[in-house]
Amino acid sequence: MAEVVRALRLYVLLQRASARGAMQYRLNTAIGVLSGAIWQGTGFAFIWVVMHTFPSLAGWGLAEIAFLYGMRLTAHALAMIPMMSVHDIHWVVRNGEFDRFLLRPLNPLVQLMGNRMGLAQFGDLLVGVALLAVASQNAQVDWSLSLVAFCALAIVGGALIEAAFFLALCSLSLRMIDTFALRVFLDDVFSKFGSYPMKIFGGVTEWLLTYVLPVAFVAYIPSSVVLGKLDTPWALAAPLLGVILVWPAYLIWRRQLTHYQSVGH
């Protein structure tokens, strides 16, 4: 436990140093955050256009899909703000920079995560929270203390699900060097399929996105509970899946770490 606390404390210190470094270039930082917000805003604009052609998708109206989109986007931002530097792992390995992480008396993953903060993802977070706030009013969500707690836990759980799969794929770069295409594919699946009700895909696709690659647990199932579209008891346990998946993802990282070879070997 002491080791975990120490790692978390050092991670926070590394991220603070990274943030201070980024704030030396405030205009560049502001542009990065704004670009993230604009990018995600255009994604929702596409859904808005579609919903004006088809007022209902699998029984979901525009406000309800906006809530689903906001929940997925908020979870995505919370996953990628600390994990964005892990996204650069293929460059770190290829340039031999990963060797210095192994020479320091600190978990290499903590060092890698603290190497750079995902600033553009703060734009994602702003858009996601704004959509949740506006959409919950338009969808007339009947908030209670327990429902607010569930929603918050579901967002954190969704972030852990995405982070777990992202970490598992990134860890393969310790052996395969470049897994960028796989990570882009994974991100597209989470962002494209996770922003819509699973019912519109139907059949095998819906089953795969629920029980094989659990995209549905990031936002669809939790938002269905919040919006009163799903009241089965097992759905209330959706936030726990993220906690469960993080540990095997970390074990995959540790396993791949044993196969790491320095550049030129």
pLDDT for 57-96, tens place per residue? Answer: 888 888 899 999 999 999 999 998 888 888 888 888 888 8
Contact 219, 135 (CB under 8 A): no
Model pLDDT, residue 94: 82
pLDDT value, residue 180:
78
List the domain range (segments joined by +) for residue 91: 2-257
Q: Is residue 246 part of a domain?
A: yes
Q: What angle do CA 67, 68, 70 make, to 5 degrees?
A: 65
Instruction: Quickly state the pLDDT bin for 177 (edges 50, 70, 90).
Output: low
Residue 23: pLDDT band (50, 70, 90) is low
Whether 263 is in a domain gets the answer: no
Name the residue with tokens 């819509």. Answer: 196
Instruction: Using alpha carbons, select from 144, 187, 170 the residue that is nearest to residue 39.
Output: 187
Give dist(CA 196, CA 64) in Å, integer. 10
pLDDT above 70 covers a percentage of the chain that reads 89
| Mean pLDDT value across residues 222-230 | 90
Token output for 38: 């604009």
Cα–Cα nearest to 196, from 44, 76, 56, 69: 69
| pLDDT confidence bin for 219, thresholds 50/70/90 | very high
Distance CA 223, CA 216 (A): 10
- Number of domains the chain contains: 1
Tokens of 141: 């969500």
Question: Does residue 265 belong to any structural domain of this protein?
Answer: no
In a domain, 47, yes or no: yes
* 45-49, 188-192, 206-210: range with lowest mean pLDDT: 45-49
pLDDT of residue 74: 94
User: Given this model, what pLDDT does residue 249 score?
Assistant: 94
Residue 146 and residue 143: Cα distance in Å, rounded? 8
> Which pLDDT value is given to residue 111?
84
Distance CA 196, CA 201 (A): 9
Within a domain: residue 264? no
Question: 5 versus 193: which is more confidently predicted?
Answer: 193
Task: Copy the structure tokens of residue 222.
Answer: 């939790």
- Determine the pLDDT at residue 150: 93
Instruction: Tell me if 262 is assigned to some domain.
Output: no
Q: Is pLDDT larger for residue 79 or for residue 262?
A: 79
In a domain, 180, yes or no: yes
Give the pLDDT of residue 18: 66
Share of the chain above pLDDT 90, in %: 29
